[in-house]
């Protein structure tokens, strides 16, 4: 089982919110997640985010790979 850390879309059109989740690589973008690790929201005026870095480090140590977008958010 190949596991990745990536974003899933939430919210309505024009007000996008994203969850940072752990999923199997072959699953759909908005399919069932193994675990939710945080959220990310970008509005016109500011960027809000909450990330559980301990759990991200745990999943990476177990072999999960972060997507390029999530890698940028972690930094």
Quick: pLDDT tens for 24-71: 988 887 788 999 999 999 877 888 889 999 999 999 999 999 999 999
CATH 3.30.1320.10 fits 3-68, yes or no: yes
Give pTM, 2 decimals: 0.85
How is the chain split into domains, by residue range?
A: 3-68
Q: Answer whether residue 4 shows pLDDT above 80.
A: yes
CB 21 within 8 A of CB 33: yes
Nearest to 70 by CA among 31, 36, 43, 28: 36
**pLDDT per position as a tens digit, 9-20:** 888 887 889 999
pLDDT of res. 1: 66
């Amino acid at each position: 089982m190949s596991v990745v850390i990536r974003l899933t879309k939430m919210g309505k059109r024009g007000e996008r919110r994203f969850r940072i989740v752990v999923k199997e690589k072959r699953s759909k973008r908005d399919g069932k997640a193994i675990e939710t690790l945080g959220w990310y929201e970008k509005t016109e005026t500011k960027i809000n985010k909450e990330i559980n870095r301990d759990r991200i480090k745990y999943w990476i140590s177990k072999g999960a790979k972060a997507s390029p977008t999530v890698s940028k958010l972690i930094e």
